[in-house]
A and B are shown apart, each in its own frame.
Chain A
Amino acid sequence: MITSLITASAAPTALVLGSTSASWACAVCTDPTDPRSNAYFDMTMFLSLLPLAALGFVSWWLYRQYSAAALD
């Protein structure tokens, strides 16, 4: 099941990753002369990682609360 899912998604993933310049999703990301390119990259990383970090922290905190309650 998982293998077939990976196989099915490999082609579209390769297509997307191989054609980023054609899509022009971010007009300045591939232009090193644009002063905003670093800011775009930094903020992309920031907005991508922040929810993961926040949800990870909350999950860890809930797990700790649960473990403490289980020990009582």
Chain B
Amino acid sequence: MDTLADGDAGGEPGAPIPLPLRRSGMSAPRGALSGVPRQRRQVVANEVLGVTIFVLTELMFFAGLISAFTISRAGAPMWPPAGQPRLPLEETAVNTVGLLASGALVYIAGRLFTRQGPRSARLPLLAGLALGAFFVLFQGYEWYRMLSEGLTLTSSTHGSFFYLIVGTHAVHVVGGFTVLALMFGQLLGERLTSGAFAAARLFWYFVVLLWPFLYWQVYT
């Protein structure tokens, strides 16, 4: 997003204001009429702004899912329904800690990238990616166990919502992981731009910070 920062370019204080502006009572923007080209400074990278808007829409998408789940759950006489397996609360808590640690490592990678240069961000980013991969693999294992215990997409409302919400989040984790892995490749090749890296990190933070809320809603 191109945004003019105040004071970037100023016109002469005594510069004449064109007649149409004087007649309309409008004041001329500073620097616009002095013949000096305005210096545009990008306040937020285009990639970051685009991902921010995307994250806002995704936030509302997940809010809709959680809303539907909460209302369905409130109408059920018991939850989970009789005959349905309980979700693995403790194991997933460990996995949650792993994903949060992944977010922290990616955050550290971003700080190091900005302050000490791209090379210093390699190790924390790699470690963050490894923990992200661990989360996805563990979720896959958990799904396998749940399916073998009889919790399927069609077995109950419980199963439907579990696979819908957790599965949608898993798709986002895989997407974020793939983008971060691409960023890591660019980092190794020293082609990574700060805007692209910041946008990828922003999406990863969203995925990471969303998960504890989903865990609290769906698993407990």
Residues of A whose CB lies within 8 Å of any CB of B are 35-36, 38-40, 42-43, 46-47, 50-51, 54-55, 58, 62, 65-66, 69-70, 72
Contacts and interface: CB of A to CB of B under 8 A. Distances in A.
Contacts of A70: 5-8
Given A70-B6, A72-B5, 12 more contacts: A39-B74, A43-B67, A43-B70, A46-B66, A46-B67, A51-B56, A55-B56, A58-B56, A69-B3, A69-B41, A69-B43, A70-B7
**Majority-rule SS of B interface residues:** helix
A36 B5 contact: no
A58 B44 CA distance: 12
Interface residues of B, number: 21
A66 B3 CA distance: 8
B71 interface: yes
A43 to B, nearest CB: 4
Nearest to A43: B67
B75 A36 contact: yes
B63 interface: yes
B84 interface: no
A31 B123 CA distance: 57
Contacts of B3: 66, 69
Given A43-B67, A66-B5, A35 B75 contact: yes
B59 interface: yes
Contacts of A36: 71, 74-75
A29 to B, nearest CB: 11
Contacts of A62: 43-44
A46 to B, nearest CB: 6
Interface string B35-52: 000000101100000001
A62 B45 CA distance: 11
B21 interface: no
Nearest to B8: A70
Contact of B74 (A35, A46, A54, A66): A35
B67 A47 contact: yes
A65 B43 contact: yes
B64 interface: yes
